[in-house]
Chain A
Amino acid sequence: MLEVKKVTKQFSSGSGDVTAVKDISLQIPAGKFASIIGKSGSGKSTLLSLLGALDKPTSGSIEVDGQDITRLGDRALNTYRGKQIGFVFQSYNLVPNLTALENVMLPLEFTRVARRERVGRAKSLLDQVGITGDKQQRKPSRLSGGEQQRVAIARALANQPKVILADEPTGNLDSQTGKMIFDLLHSLARSQNTTIVAVTHDLSIAGKTDMTFTLSDGKLVKQ
Chain B
Amino acid sequence: MNSLTRGIRNTFRNSIRTVSIVLILGLSIGLSLSMLVARQAVENKISTVKSTIGTSITVSPAGARGFDGGGEPLTQADLDKAKSVAHVTSVSGTLQDRLSSDNTNLQSAIDPGTLGRRFGRSNSGFGAGGQAPNGGTFKLPVMLIGTDDPASAQVLSGSSVKLTSGTLYAAGSSDKVAVIGKELATKNNLSVGSTFTAYASTITVVGIYDAGNTFSNGTVVMPLKTVQTLSSQANAITSAIIKVDSIDTIDGAVNNLKTQLGSKADVVSQKDTATQALAPLQNIKNVSLFSLIGAMVAGAIIILLTMVMIVRERRREIGVLKAIGASNVKIMWQFMAEAVSFTVIGAVLGIAIGLAGGKPITNMLVTNSSNASSAVSQTAGPGQGPVTAQAGGGGLFRRAASNLNLKDVHAVISWHLLLYGFAAAVLIALVGSAVPSLLIAKIRPAEVMRTE
Contact = CB atoms under 8 A, between A and B. Distances in A.
Interface of A: 45-46, 48-49, 52, 54-55, 74-75, 78-79, 81-83, 86-87, 89-91, 93, 95-98, 102, 105-107, 109-111, 155, 159, 167-168
Contacts of B1: 98, 102, 105, 109
A49 B449 contact: yes
A81 B322 contact: yes
B330 interface: yes
Contacts of B13: 96-97
Given A93-B316, A97-B13, A109-B1, A81 B449 contact: no
Interface string B392-428: 0000000000000000000000000000000000000
Interface residues of B, number: 26
B299 interface: no
Nearest to A108: B325
Contacts of A87: 320, 323-324
B325 A107 contact: yes
Interface stretch (B48-56, B197-205, B244-252, B440-448): B440-448
A61 to B, nearest CB: 18
A45 B452 CA distance: 9
Contacts of B326: 78, 82, 106, 110
Contact of B449 (A45, A102, A155): A45
A27 to B, nearest CB: 22
Given A54-B444, A54-B446, A109-B2, A78 B325 contact: yes
B325 A54 contact: no
Interface of B: 1-2, 6, 9-10, 13, 316-317, 319-328, 330, 444-446, 448-450, 452
Contact of A167 (B6, B327, B444, B449): B449
A96 B326 CA distance: 17
Contact of B323 (A52, A79, A91, A105): A52
Contacts of A110: 324-327, 330
B270 to A, nearest CB: 66
Nearest to B9: A97
Nearest to B324: A107
Given A54-B323, A83-B325, A106-B324, A97 B10 contact: yes
B401 to A, nearest CB: 64
By secondary structure, the B interface counts as helix
Nearest to B451: A91
Given A54-B444, A109-B1, A168 B452 contact: yes
B327 A78 contact: yes
Given A79-B325, A87-B323, 10 more contacts: A75-B327, A78-B326, A81-B325, A81-B445, A93-B317, A95-B320, A98-B1, A110-B324, A167-B452, A168-B452
A184 B326 CA distance: 26
Contacts of A55: 444-446, 449
A145 B274 CA distance: 77
Contacts of A49: 445-446, 449
A45 B10 CA distance: 30
Contacts of B325: 78-79, 81-83, 107, 110-111, 159
B2 A89 contact: no
A110 to B, nearest CB: 4
B449 A93 contact: no
A97 B173 CA distance: 84
Nearest to A99: B1
Contacts of A95: 317, 320-321
B322 A90 contact: no
Max chain B C-beta neighbours (<10 A), residue from A46, A86, A106: A106
Contacts of B317: 93, 95-96
Contacts of B448: 54, 89, 93
Contacts of B316: 93
A83 B446 CA distance: 18
B241 to A, nearest CB: 72
Nearest to A44: B449
Contacts of B323: 52, 54, 81, 87
Max chain A C-beta neighbours (<10 A), residue from B316, B330, B448: B448
Contacts of B446: 49, 54-55
A106 B334 CA distance: 13
Contacts of B449: 45-46, 48-49, 54-55, 167
Max chain B C-beta neighbours (<10 A), residue from A45, A83, A86, A87: A87
Nearest to A110: B325
Contacts of B321: 95, 106
A55 B6 CA distance: 26
A45 B445 CA distance: 13
A55 B445 CA distance: 7
13 contacts: A46-B449, A49-B445, A49-B449, A54-B446, A55-B444, A74-B327, A74-B328, A81-B322, A89-B452, A93-B317, A96-B13, A97-B9, A98-B1
Max chain B C-beta neighbours (<10 A), residue from A52, A89, A168: A89
Nearest to A105: B1
A168 B449 CA distance: 11
A157 to B, nearest CB: 11
